[in-house]
Structure 1
Amino acid sequence: MASDPASPGGAGGSRVLAHADMDAYYVEVELLRRPELRGRKIIVAQDSGRSVVLSASYQARADGVRSAMPLSRARQLSPHALVLEPTMHRYREISAQIMAYFATITDRVEQLSVDEAFLDLTGARRRLGSPEQIGRMIRSDIREQFGLPVTVGIADRKFIAKIASTRAKPDGLLLVPPPRRVEFLHTLPVRALWGVGGKTAAALEGLGISTVEQLAHTPADSLRRRFGVHGEQLHRLAWGEDDREVETERAEKSIGAEETFAEDIAEEKVLREELLRLSHKVAGRLRASAMTAQGVALKLRYRDFETHTRSATLPHPTHSGLTLYSTAVSLLEKMGERPQPVRLIGVRAERLQHHVGALQLSFDRAETNWVDAENAVDAVARRFPGASVAPASLLSREPRPEIE
């Protein structure tokens, strides 16, 4: 079949990349079981005062409800919304089936989360038709096989395909042909670009740059002086330059765990106990993934939702909970006196690498003993899945629910 030269993958031989994004995925999965609720204002969240919104129907979004918003705030904005408890196992199960379907279209699928993925359609055109035909097929098949809506963006650049799917929501399809790539980008606000968060957008707007077109026509040297390497990257994106491929195997960049307290915490002892628990949880996940980390990050969120992070580089890679904990405590101390009680605390292992052979340990025999002890804990957990093994200082505490 001849390709349209004006479409991705046309006569010029461009790549054809699609970004498929399920619409209000958690809500739509819940509606499969409760179709009578369709059209209602719905929020998916744990029904407690400290939880956050996982997903919201478009009817609730019209009231200003957004994902990651505190549920208490969402209820103020949309008081008549119905709150549904999440069923995470169903979301993961259906997600696996959807990803398996994507694999029937192309062997180059990059799953980003339970509800979105990139697909490299370049090699599928001969078998399945034009990019637009494949996009329509994906939307039709997902609706027919799973009863769910999906939005698809198609372009020859990953970030443009993702922007296209965002612009086509909900339940739409948008194709950006290569010859119109720059034209499409230059109609957008600068906040639409990858890597432009609130702070960067504010800094750009302070320079009089509010659109991608204005960013593109700002000298790259000026952006580099103001934003460093990131400024150069943004300038390239503003001209549609992005050679990233669809990654069929995504390397884990970090492994973390965090806890939102039922009540804001000011006591140092409680914060350290939580850091100990989270550090061992993260270390267990590192060992289960055969990974080590050479970086540790600490996250604190205060009562007013102001969030701070600090990170440190380790002298050698580790999967020891003791090492993660001692580093996290050091970071906590360096943050100084806390201005208000803590709402959330988290630990993250960063700069991951595959664990091959023995770890390089310090000359401190205590570290070697701890690694041996933690490996023994893993062995107990594998042999007795129902057993609960933890540092002695945590044994008197009530068990906490699993952190996603």
Structure 2
Amino acid sequence: MMEERKIIHVDMDAFFAAVEQRDKPELRGKPVAVGFDGERGVVSTASYEARKFGVHSAQSIQVAKRLCPQLMIVLPDFHHYKAVSEQVHRIFLDYTDLIEPVSIDEAFLDVTHNKKGMPLAVDIAEDIRRRIREELHLTASAGVSYNKFLAKIASDYRKPDGLFVIHPDKAMAFVSRLRVEKFWGVGPKTAVRMHSMGIFTGEQLREVSKHHLITVFGKVGAVYYDFARGIDPRPVETEYIRKSVGCEQTFTQDISLKSAVLIELYHTVLELVGRLKRSEFIGKTLTLKVKYADFTQITRSLTAHKPLKTKADILPLAKKLLAEVEYSGSHPIRLMGLSVSNPHTEDELVRHPEWIEGSLPFED
């Protein structure tokens, strides 16, 4: 019989805003948004005081200020946030080496065999939260269960500054009541699709066959099938594997002239090439993202037969993707982004050693 895993998901509460409030006493207890206070600024993180007014991440700063006129806006300091994140990570390392960072402010920990010899994962989670509070003067929420899916759901259940455990004996009942919108990997569009199928809860999702879910949602349908049964075999992966590199730019003014759009596309390509070089990423799928003035957005992608690394590789493909995008004076572009994804496999790199950095150098 396999040993039952003990997984913790730790999620820092309103991380960027909380760091700013910790370091700047004048911000404590006030509604705070981290972002650029400009016409095109976007909220990166909102404090819980601001969230009470409807302010949230990815929201326009201008909208946020209308919702909360007393909102205090702080420019982000990502280098500082990264340094604080590393302090949190060092606390994790006192308990286990099996740590999978999800982002700068959250991570999974496998504490099945932990350094402290503590038998209960809930005690480890509480001790981690205590140390973050006492040593860093920040709060974190944590979820505990036997797999990553349930631990992630649990960490969201009592935010902020909360701890929740989903015990194996109660997992099926918990998932049965869970709204599908809360399932990891179910976004707004997928939720609408599920609702149209009469699926609103985990129990209703469990009634749909795996074959039908795969027919409707593709490969991820099999994941939904497992999640509805409390199954998630994915291990906590300590080695971070980059899956894409990208960049995007929100323009100070909406653009619609073809010449202006092409100029911005060119600059975006140069920025992307620089990021690919710095990250030593090798991928073959290029994606163009366009957001319009009305905040609707589209993406267009294509996959090349060789690595996308240089301006010569990327610019012609970017222009080809742009040709598929409609825009005009009445439907101008607010934001443009490019990313390279679909990293090459080890087998491909063995067959094509010239693709490896050093054999085929990046070009500006």
Q: Secondary structure of 2:301's match?
A: strand
1:268-311 CA distance string (max 9 Å, x none): 22222222222222222222233322110000000001010000
Tell me if 1:235 matches 2:225: yes
Q: CA deviation at 1:328?
A: 0.9
Q: Secondary structure of 1:316's match?
A: coil
Hey, what does 1:351 align to over in structure 2? Answer: 342
Tell me if 1:89 matches 2:85: no
Cα distance between partner residues in 2 of 1:230 and 1:91: 33
TM-score (normalizing by structure 1): 0.83
1:28-67 CA distance string (max 9 Å, x none): 1011222343222111111111111111111211111110
Cα distance between partner residues in 2 of 1:284 and 1:184: 47
Cα distance between partner residues in 2 of 1:113 and 1:162: 13
Hey, what does 1:290 align to over in structure 2? Answer: 280
Cα distance between partner residues in 2 of 1:208 and 1:318: 43
Tell me if 1:142 matches 2:122: no
User: After the TM superposition, which residues 104-183 of structure 1 pair with which residues of structure 2 at under 5 Å, given as runs?
Assistant: 104-124=94-114, 127-183=117-173
Cα distance between partner residues in 2 of 1:337 and 1:300: 10
Hey, what does 1:7 align to over in structure 2? Answer: none
Cα distance between partner residues in 1 of 2:76 and 2:308: 34
Q: One-letter code of the match for 2:287?
A: A
Hey, what does 2:237 align to over in structure 1? Answer: 247
Q: Secondary structure of 1:39's match?
A: coil
User: After the TM superposition, which residues 282-361 of structure 1 pair with which residues of structure 2 at under 5 Å, given as runs?
Assistant: 282-338=272-328, 340-353=331-344, 357-359=353-355
Report if the CA contact (8 A) 1:41-1:60 is conserved.
Answer: yes
Gaps (5+ residues) in structure 1?
1-10, 361-370, 378-404
Deviates more, 1:135-144 or 1:350-359: 350-359
Cα distance between partner residues in 1 of 2:37 and 2:77: 13
Task: Indicate the RMSD between aligned Cα atoms, in angstroms.
Answer: 2.1
- The counterpart of 2:197, out of the listed 201, 207, 215, is 207
Hey, what does 2:90 align to over in structure 1? Answer: 100
Question: Aligned in 2, Cα 1:208/1:199: closer, same or farther, shift over 3 Å?
Answer: same
Question: Aligned in 2, Cα 1:36/1:289: closer, same or farther, shift over 3 Å?
Answer: closer
Report if the CA contact (8 A) 1:41-1:58 is conserved.
Answer: yes
Cα distance between partner residues in 2 of 1:15 and 1:224: 28
Q: Secondary structure of 1:186's match?
A: helix
Q: Secondary structure of 2:288's match?
A: strand
Deviates more, 1:224-233 or 1:75-84: 224-233
Question: Aligned in 2, Cα 1:52/1:337: closer, same or farther, shift over 3 Å?
Answer: closer
Hey, what does 1:34 align to over in structure 2? Answer: 24
Q: Secondary structure of 2:114's match?
A: helix
Question: Aligned in 2, Cα 1:163/1:124: closer, same or farther, shift over 3 Å?
Answer: same
Q: Secondary structure of 1:317's match?
A: coil
Q: One-letter code of the match for 2:354?
A: A
Q: CA deviation at 1:228?
A: 3.0
Cα distance between partner residues in 1 of 2:319 and 2:333: 15
User: After the TM superposition, which residues 214-229 of structure 1 pair with which residues of structure 2 at under 5 Å, given as runs?
Assistant: 214-229=204-219
Q: Secondary structure of 1:127's match?
A: coil
Q: Secondary structure of 2:195's match?
A: helix
User: After the TM superposition, which residues 366-377 of structure 1 pair with which residues of structure 2 at under 5 Å, given as runs?
Assistant: 375=363
1:331-360 CA distance string (max 9 Å, x none): 000234556100000010111238774239
Hey, what does 1:398 align to over in structure 2? Answer: none
Q: Secondary structure of 2:306's match?
A: strand
- The counterpart of 1:78, out of the listed 54, 65, 68, is 68
Gaps (5+ residues) in structure 2?
none
Q: Kindly name which structure, 1 or 2, has the bigger radius of gyration based on alpha carbons.
A: 1
Q: One-letter code of the match for 1:64?
A: G
TM-score (normalizing by structure 2): 0.92
Aligned residues: 356
Report percent identity of matched pairs. Answer: 36
Question: Aligned in 2, Cα 1:222/1:359: closer, same or farther, shift over 3 Å?
Answer: closer
Q: One-letter code of the match for 2:198?
A: G
